[in-house]
Structure 1
């Protein structure tokens, strides 16, 4: 661990800085920490808080250091993928940030019977919004509270006007704490929605590193001009719906898939019609020749390219709308997405890597196989008949979050399919 003597960040602090005292306390507790800086070059101490078998980094400023000196970091753990922390103290408490999903937070909480709004003096002094306590009728050994973030929580997570606190339940292990948060906490939020029409969800950690994806588009310097093409209204509406599904990768994926699906009937039959047309145009074709009629029947029944089941229709649609070179150029222009698709260990279990440079077979076919498999795992949300339970892509899961990279490709394909299906716009 670096010290003041050999670390320029720590060396910029005054000798009596509470942040230096906090570093010594953290090191004495055997907890990993290191120095870093904020956007304005202010010193920050990054502390690795236990989170099951892993850890979560939190950044502590010099302003927050005095509050942290009063904490026992060995008795604090982060929970799951949420902005949630568990304090293993004499008065145990789990605290998780809430996000309103059906309106402004301050309006929603006021609709909960028992909500007590903070006085102007309390708001000025502690920035408190108010609180409501939730108790049981069966002699439970725990209670809940929706209120402004605690002072400790505000240090770890600056998000949000309110948090949910589960108080009083002694939970020794990390799995016990996470399970209690998810089962009891989600039950509370569901019943608040059921009874009062207020909808909240647990705040999740923002994706970092490879989980952040955004398609790199060519910067067009020319001024916009009136369009020359007219796009089909229904799939264009689905495309716009997908673009509006911010933070909902499962919904975004399905909307893009529906854009492709809209054209299945058109392109899945194109191959078949071409083959039939060529047979019927042959001058030697005779309608009274049973052998030739049998050949016609075989053509209509074959599950070949662009005809047959949904998987084949997907391939036909993508193959008609997007060239192999265009797909390769897409990956070349988006190296982060390429790295995600070609990684040996895929973020979504069961998927095979797709590397345009080392492909084994048709690139469009490989991608369509992947898209169709994901589609099935999103849609088939049942235990029997739809695959194994652990193969489903559930909302808010790490696998569902990884769809952000898949959706960069899906947006590209949806755009190409819309262009392929467009007609000239009257001048």
Structure 2
């Protein structure tokens, strides 16, 4: 089991249990987990059928005193949320979402949260909740080390829904937390996470619990931000942190020869600061491209004018040829941003670089059934549009999905691409493509 030590094996651990604990173990095992033994007074389970993963990555822990609570949730049909770190319990009518504060505001935000008093809120609901015990990381007094429970429980009589901020439940921790986090927590080093919990009346459809709870959580996060100055962030189920492949041969460092505007260099560099937010990375590279759109447009307009002026039949003394020239100028003024992008990629990006990129990339991502909806596919088929045109169409459509959030029926089939969504977590190939395009344009636009 890698370097993980378990104090007792399954049989030894089961021998010393109460009957209700044994029943709880069997209920959890029936959901795809296997008791491996015990460590630090906690039951250690492993995921069944987790081939290809490191043994330690399949391990989960739960204190024996809480095992019946977790088993009860499993019996009621608890599952992990599809997009965000958290769980949905359709049987109990509860959904739970991990939340965090931005790392740069952590201390300030936690102190703001301390001022939220559990006892200051009038409770008119019948939900069974108990504030979790204080944690040392949130203390009201550094000198005394005394902690204070952070949280609130608010309800809507009209909607018959409650929202609670408190430490994450045992079941959520069991399903979503890593082994290293759990072991640190079990031996007293770890700091438990907070979650927003949404309570419905029992009997509410599980699908509605999952869908409606996310709307409620989004609303309360918004209000906490503008009313209370507390910026909470939902955690995606799969955290995305990616880097770009280093050159196969690392050249020596040289005095810079590439000439580019300072603001463009800043945009390109900013992309590397936000690698945990793929849509932001993509937009940073798109802004680099956007900076060169007027240049590409002017170059193309000049080509059009030069063709007209070089026409052997052009005569500046004839109205018909002058009108033709004016019409050509008007047409160059009416080019859309998407068409400007097509011109830019056609004239500034080397075709062989695109062919090389798609030759070394998993093309399923760029097909019509790929993970990103509402954007054109890219095909290497000879009868397709030129590769630069296909790329421009996709890049522009993806840019629109990120920046356009219009409440308009005509955009209903192409929703905005949310920054912490599953789609955002699948953007790496598109981001790598945008980085290539930005690099090519910077290199070829120096003139």
Note whether the superposition's TM-score is higher than 0.5: yes
Does 2:197 match 1:165? Answer: yes
Instruction: Check 1:321–1:153 CA distance in 2 against 1; reply closer, same or farther (3 A cut).
Output: same
1:56-96: CA deviation from partner (whole Å, max 9, x where unpaired): xx976375485785213232222341111134677x64332
Give the whole-Å Cα distance in 1 for the aligned partners of 2:60 and 2:430.
40
- Residue matched to 2:11: 16
Shift of 1:230: 1.6
Give the whole-Å Cα distance in 1 for the aligned partners of 2:283 and 2:319.
45
Aligned partner (choices 142, 149, 169) of residue 168 of structure 2:
149
Query: What TM-score, normalized to structure 1?
Result: 0.74
- Residue matched to 1:313: 340
Query: Is contact 1:148–1:162 with CA below 8 Å preserved after alignment?
Result: yes
1:86-137: CA deviation from partner (whole Å, max 9, x where unpaired): 34677x64332112137444541321323588265999xxxx9733232348
Does 2:287 match 1:254? Answer: no
Does 2:154 match 1:135? Answer: yes
1:130-182: CA deviation from partner (whole Å, max 9, x where unpaired): 33232348598664432332333222222763222335642532222113422
1:348-406: CA deviation from partner (whole Å, max 9, x where unpaired): 33434313355612100111111222233333322337x33231224134334433332
- Residue matched to 1:263: 292
Give the whole-Å Cα distance in 1 for the aligned partners of 2:354 and 2:273.
24
Give the whole-Å Cα distance in 2 for the aligned partners of 1:122 and 1:289.
83
Aligned partner (choices 355, 364, 367) of residue 339 of structure 1:
364
Does 2:114 match 1:98? Answer: no
Aligned partner (choices 334, 351, 359) of residue 375 of structure 2:
351
Give the whole-Å Cα distance in 2 for the aligned partners of 1:330 and 1:33.
42
- Residue matched to 2:445: 421
1:294-338: CA deviation from partner (whole Å, max 9, x where unpaired): 4423433446xx9822222111111111111111112233x24x3
Partner secondary structure for residue 79 of structure 2: strand
Instruction: Check 1:120–1:254 CA distance in 2 against 1; reply closer, same or farther (3 A cut).
Output: closer
- Residue matched to 1:6: none
Query: What TM-score, normalized to structure 2?
Result: 0.72
Matches within 5 A, 1:390-405: 390-395=413-418, 396-405=420-429
- Residue matched to 2:431: 407
Aligned partner (choices 377, 381, 400) of residue 376 of structure 1:
400
Does 2:352 match 1:325? Answer: yes
Aligned partner (choices 86, 91, 108) of residue 84 of structure 1:
86
Q: Structure 2: 5+ residue runs without aligned partners?
A: 1-7, 16-21, 37-43, 50-55, 119-132, 140-146, 182-191
Query: Is contact 2:161–2:201 with CA below 8 Å preserved after alignment?
Result: yes
Aligned length: 384
Does 2:216 match 1:184? Answer: yes
Shift of 1:411: 1.3
Partner secondary structure for residue 45 of structure 1: strand
Partner secondary structure for residue 112 of structure 2: coil
Give the whole-Å Cα distance in 2 for the aligned partners of 1:301 and 1:246.
42
- Residue matched to 1:10: none
Query: Is contact 2:281–2:431 with CA below 8 Å preserved after alignment?
Result: yes
Partner secondary structure for residue 269 of structure 1: helix
Give the whole-Å Cα distance in 2 for the aligned partners of 1:250 and 1:240.
15
Query: Is contact 2:24–2:67 with CA below 8 Å preserved after alignment?
Result: no
Give the whole-Å Cα distance in 2 for the aligned partners of 1:238 and 1:401.
21
Query: Is contact 2:267–2:284 with CA below 8 Å preserved after alignment?
Result: yes
Give the whole-Å Cα distance in 1 for the aligned partners of 2:337 and 2:386.
18
Give the whole-Å Cα distance in 1 for the aligned partners of 2:176 and 2:148.
17
Give the whole-Å Cα distance in 1 for the aligned partners of 2:90 and 2:399.
42
Partner secondary structure for residue 272 of structure 2: helix
- Residue matched to 1:195: 227
Task: Give the alignment's Cα RMSD to 1 decimal.
Answer: 4.1
